[in-house]
């Protein structure tokens, strides 16, 4: 198994390379495009990734809500002292704290979700070139050794500046 990285200056060339790889019979998902900035979704004809990000905040909100309900209720019942003429279980004061904790937990879980759905942290990032953060567009593909030359040719044909192998 090898990884190839073709570097392109022109986004159109990169898009052609992606097309070439698709036509060359490489499986969708084995090749990908690396950019230094977000491009419109599907600009390179790439596989548009699916995600389940929105489940994370929902889950977080439920956890935060339950936890805060427990905490606010428990602290008031644990020390039942009437202050300010308010009932022991003051729902309208509890609501404020419950709201904050629910939102906090939703945010924390969203961030976990964003990192998880970005498939980070990525301990073995594979073949890469620092010029990608400089405006070059990289097309990466992992191939069996037997297909290596075929893939290389496709990347070259579409006008890559350089091809790296790892």
Partner 1 sequence: MQQRDNENRLSQEYTNSVLLNGTLQTPKWWPYLVSILGFFVVIGFVLFGIQIKYGLGVTGLNRPIYWGLYITTFVFWVGISHAGIMISAILRLTQAEWRRPVTRAAEILTIFSLATALVFPLIHAGRTWRIVYWLIPYDASRGIWPNIRSPLFMDPIAISTYLTGSTLFLFVALLPDLAVLRDRTTGFRKGFYTILALGWRGNPRQWKMQVVGGILLSALMLPIFVSVHSIVSWDFAVTTAVEGWHSTIFAPYFVIGAVHSGVSAVVTMMALMRWGWGWNEFIRPEHFDALARLLTVVATAWLGFTFLELLFALYGLDAPEIALREMQIFQYPWNMLFLTFLLTGYILPVPMWIFKRIRTNIALMFWSSILVNIGMWLERFLIIVPGLARRTPFVFTWEAYSPSWFEWYILFWSFCWVTLLMLIFSRVFPLVPLFEQKESEVFSDDIKIGRATVPTIFREEEE
Partner 2 sequence: MSTNEEHFHWPPSDPKVVKEELISSTKRGGGFIKKSIWVLSLLSILGIVGLLGKLFLESNDQTQWGYIAAILAFILSTASGAPMVAVAPLIAKANWARPISRIAHIIGVVGIVNIIIMIPLLWVLPPLVVEGARRRSIWFEAPNYSPHFWDTLSLIMLAIVGVALLYSSALPDFATIRDNSSGTKKRIAGFLARGFVGSTVQWSTLRMRIGMMSTFYFFTLIFVHTLISIDLSLSMVPGWRDAIYPMAHAMGGIQGGIASVIIVAWIVRKYFGYENYITINQFWALGRLMFAASLMWIYFFYSAFIVFWYGRSMSDTAWLDLLIRGPMMYVFILGMLFSFIFPWWWLIWNKVRNSVNGPFYGAILAILGVFFERVRLYVPAWSVDPSLIHDKWLKVIPKTLFPDIWDILVLVGAVSSVFLIVMIVSRIVPFIGVWEIQQFNLLAKPVKYIKAHGVRVAKPD
Interface residues with partner 2 (CB under 8 A) are: 11-12, 15, 39-45, 54, 84-85, 92, 96
Buried b (16+ CB within 10 A) or exposed e, 144-161: eeebeeebbebbeebebe
Minimal distance, residue 52 CB to partner 2, in Å: 14
Minimal distance, residue 14 CB to partner 1, in Å: 12
Classify 91 as helix, strand or coil.
Answer: helix
Strand extents, DSSP E, the chain: 2-8, 31-34, 137-143, 162-165
Minimal distance, residue 11 CB to partner 2, in Å: 6
Q: Residue 40 has what DSSP assignment?
A: -
Contact stretch for partner 1 (CB under 8 A) within 20-28, 109-117, 149-157, 158-166:
109-117
52-123-128-27 Cα dihedral, nearest 10 degrees: -50
Residues that bind partner 1 (CB under 8 A): 32-41, 44, 46-49, 51, 53-54, 57, 71-72, 75-76, 78-79, 81, 83-84, 86, 90, 93-94, 96-97, 99-101, 103-104, 106-108, 110-111, 113-115, 117-126, 128, 130, 132-135, 138, 140
């Amino acid at each position: 198994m090898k990884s190839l990285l073709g570097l392109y200056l022109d986004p159109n060339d990169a898009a052609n390379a992606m097309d070439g790889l698709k036509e060359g019979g490489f499986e969708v998902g084995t090749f990908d495009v690396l950019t230094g900035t977000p491009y419109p979704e599907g600009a390179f004809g790439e596989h548009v990734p699916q995600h389940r990000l929105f489940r994370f905040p929902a889950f977080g909100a439920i956890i935060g809500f339950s936890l805060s309900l427990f905490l606010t209720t428990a602290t008031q019942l644990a020390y039942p002292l009437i202050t300010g003429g308010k009932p022991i279980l003051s729902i309208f004061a509890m609501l404020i704290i419950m709201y904050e904790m629910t939102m906090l937990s939703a945010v924390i879980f969203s961030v976990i979700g964003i990192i998880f759905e970005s498939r980070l942290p990525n301990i073995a990032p594979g073949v890469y070139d620092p010029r990608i953060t400089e405006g070059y567009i990289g097309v990466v593909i992992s191939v069996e050794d037997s297909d290596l030359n075929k893939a290389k040719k496709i990347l070259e044909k579409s006008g890559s500046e350089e091809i790296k192998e790892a």
